[in-house]
Structure 1
Amino acid sequence: MELLTVLVKMVALISDACRNAEKLPGALISCGVLQAATALCLIVSRSPGGIFLHHGKAPFYLYYGILIAVFVFGLLEASAGFWVSGDVVGRRAAGKTILWVSVLPIAVVAALGGFIVLH
């Protein structure tokens, strides 16, 4: 799939989950697994480029640090989806907060070219 198609589907999934509490665990799990998988693909298959390449070792390590943080956040988001599924009504606010915070890692992975790797 193209980057734009994946992003539109993820935004639609997040939007549906915020309106319907029953879709919230599925959205958390789907978005979390997709974030973790994409970050892992970038770690394994793509070396840093652009600003991360010719400015010393710090940006090089920052690139991999960001991807590792997104990977861990994706796994935590997916596990939060399982936690929310235990009591959807009582844990809806926490689930929605985690889901909206996950927009930032999605944007970071998209900016680093992660969804092109899935192509």
Structure 2
Amino acid sequence: MMKYCSLLLSVLVLFSCSDDEPTAGCFQDEGRRIVTIVNNINGTVIFNGDCGYLIDPDERLDRNPTSVLFPCNLEIEFEVDGLKVNFSGFIYESFEFEDICADFFEITDIEIVPDVQ
């Protein structure tokens, strides 16, 4: 019986640790779901007085209606207006009744793009 319980517990642990779905870290208290995952996109950090620091992608992203991103977890070292970055992350849904200045975004990876002259 003990071997059976150990085997069952091992199987449950193995299947519960799957990385198939992205793990969200922002906007859970607002009930938002991830609508798009972006990987290795270049963009520019911009400062908007009403919204704070945003990321303006160099290319149009799927499910990004405002064309700019509001990162919930932009580290202070990246809060530089005009900074060129390469980033990955999750775009979250917005609700029809909201008046937003940027799409909700969570950074999973970001780095400064070297200035090539």
Q: TM-score surpassing 0.5?
A: no
Greater helix content = 1
**TM-score normalized with structure 1 length:** 0.23
Greater strand content = 2
**TM-score normalized with structure 2 length:** 0.24
